[in-house]
Amino acid sequence: MLIKKPDDIKSSEITDRKLYLTRRNFMRGVALAATTTATALVYRQFGVPAPPPVKGEKIEGVQTAEQASSFPPPPGEARTSYEEITNYNNFYEFSTGKTEVAGAARGFVTRPWTVEVGGMVAKPRVFDLDDLLKIAPLEERVYRMRCVERWSMVIPWVGFPLAKLLAQVEPLGSAKYVAFQTLLDPKRMPNQRSDVLEWPYVEGLRLDEAMHPLTILASGLYGETLPPQNGAPLRLVVPWKYGYKGIKSIVKITLTDQQPKTTWNISAPREYGFYSNVNPKVHHPRWSQAKERRIGEFGLRDTLPFNGYAEEVAQLYAGMDLRVNY
């Protein structure tokens, strides 16, 4: 190997000091820019995806809450925006990331769709969805929705009382509970391939809870058909209970004399009971339920007993210890 002694190097070969420093600074600039860009790109992988466009179809002939002057009046609280309602969802069949459900559920096909209503009833029947939605006039119901995770929204649903559907099938005197089941189809609901919960998702109500006029089956929100991420084409809404009781994409409703199994209770019985009534005094083992963050607000609100519907529903639980029956 030839090693040049200093005096062998011609002065013309020596890089000019100024040029050397310029080059060095240039390389350093490149290194800095390249690494920070890479870091930024990696960070971006874990960010909130941009909301995909959602387009529901307008539902004709819906009585607005004001027009219907029906029970209950809309709460005097601002409605949560459509974009927030449709881009912050717990729907584990599509994704466990609340901001990712909207994207994962895009293109979910909801026609044809049937709902089987049976069990302890005089007239069991399989309803085609479009027939089912004609059982009763659709009306707007503006309800508070309190998630067990301590956030809440105010949502203008479109739907009709579950009681109207149950009347069609004539529950037997022996029926005490109503069990609900979500569609099971891993091809259309890809996260059903994971074992994060037991599939299909199941929920249940006591018959008197199911017959309560506040309990509705919803097929729309903000006057349009439900987008997939909110439980299309048909979901349950029970406003005085935590959000997960509102089972989505229902295919089966069964009347029974046994207390139905419920998905979250199977997953973590100590944390999620059958009743799951909103209760600021009964805490989740891992967080307090005394307060909630209304989506779109900075501060916290006090959580109300039965989510503010105590006047309407508290008598359903008269004499029950709500700490035991959480």
Partner 1 sequence: MFAPDIKFTRFVLFMNGLVPAALLAWDAYHHKLGANPIEFATRATGVLTLVFLFVTLAITPLRKLTGANWMVKLRRQVGLYAFFYGCLHLLTYVWFDKFFGAREIAEDVWARPFITVGMASFLVLVPLAATSTSGMIKRLGGKRWAKLHKLTYVAAVGGVIHFYLGVKADTTTPILFAVVLALLLGYRWVSSRMDATATKSATLGIQTPPR
Q: For binding to partner 1 (CB under 8 A), which residues are involved?
A: 28, 31-32, 35-36, 39-40, 43-44, 46-48, 83-84, 87-88, 92, 96, 98-99, 149, 151, 194, 196-197, 267-268, 285-288, 293, 295-296, 298-300
Residues in a beta bridge with 146: 152
Residue with smaller CB distance to partner 1, 98 or 206? 98
Residues sharing a CB contact under 8 Å with residue 252, sequence separation 6 or more, in sequence order: 115, 116, 117, 118, 179, 180, 181
CB–CB of 169/273 below 8 Å? Answer: no
Q: How many alpha carbons fall within 13 Å on the CB side of residue 277?
A: 24
In angstroms, give the least distance from the CB of 30 to partner 1.
11
C-beta atoms surrounding 118 within 10 Å: 15
Kindly compute the dihedral angle of the four CA atoms of residues 297, 302, 308, 313, in this order, to the nearest 10 degrees.
140
Residue with smaller CB distance to partner 1, 2 or 40? 40
Residue with smaller CB distance to partner 1, 259 or 267? 267
Residue with smaller CB distance to partner 1, 90 or 254? 90
Nearest to 254, CA basis, from 156, 115, 54, 152? 115
Q: What residue type is assigned to position 148 of the chain?
A: V
Residue with smaller CB distance to partner 1, 95 or 215? 95
In angstroms, give the least distance from the CB of 15 to partner 1.
18
In angstroms, give the least distance from the CB of 201 to partner 1.
12
In angstroms, give the least distance from the CB of 114 to partner 1.
29
- Phi–psi pair at 37, nearest 5 degrees: -65, -45
Residue with smaller CB distance to partner 1, 36 or 67? 36
In angstroms, give the least distance from the CB of 236 to partner 1.
20
Residue with smaller CB distance to partner 1, 288 or 325? 288
Residue with smaller CB distance to partner 1, 31 or 320? 31
In angstroms, give the least distance from the CB of 303 to partner 1.
14
In angstroms, give the least distance from the CB of 296 to partner 1.
7
Sign of the alpha-carbon torsion through 127, 129, 135, 136: positive
In angstroms, give the least distance from the CB of 278 to partner 1.
17
